[in-house]
Structure 1
Amino acid sequence: MSVSARLCRQLKLIGQVPEHKGLWCAFGHGHLGLTGAVGTGLLLAQAMSGSAPAQKVLELFAVNRF
């Protein structure tokens, strides 16, 4: 098994970077990156188009939570 990008508590960083309007990120999936890509992509697409439920879910993975 190779080294995979992971964050503490294995929670991903997904969402808009508050300091840089228009910059969105989705990383920290570790070895499950390909498995989670479809769901992450769908969630990001919904949030980028202004979906309130998607934005609420992304609060759990907010970039500025640290």
Structure 2
Amino acid sequence: MSKPVLTARQLRVLELVAEGYDNAGIARELHCSPHSVKNMIYDLMARLQVSNRVHATAYAIRHGLI
């Protein structure tokens, strides 16, 4: 499986997820709404083909995304 192409913002969200931020914390960091963060995380999980935040973090580390 090839590495998915992610935008800089998606990579930042992935980094914040890996650091343990919740949706509200990510929203504060990115100056957007928690609803927007929720949508970004759902999109990230679909792109990475993972089922949760822990799997997304593991995938990102394993594939050198973060």
TM-score higher than 0.5: no
Normalising by structure 2, we get a TM-score of 0.31
Normalising by structure 1, we get a TM-score of 0.31
Structure number with higher strand proportion? 1
Structure number with higher helix proportion? 2
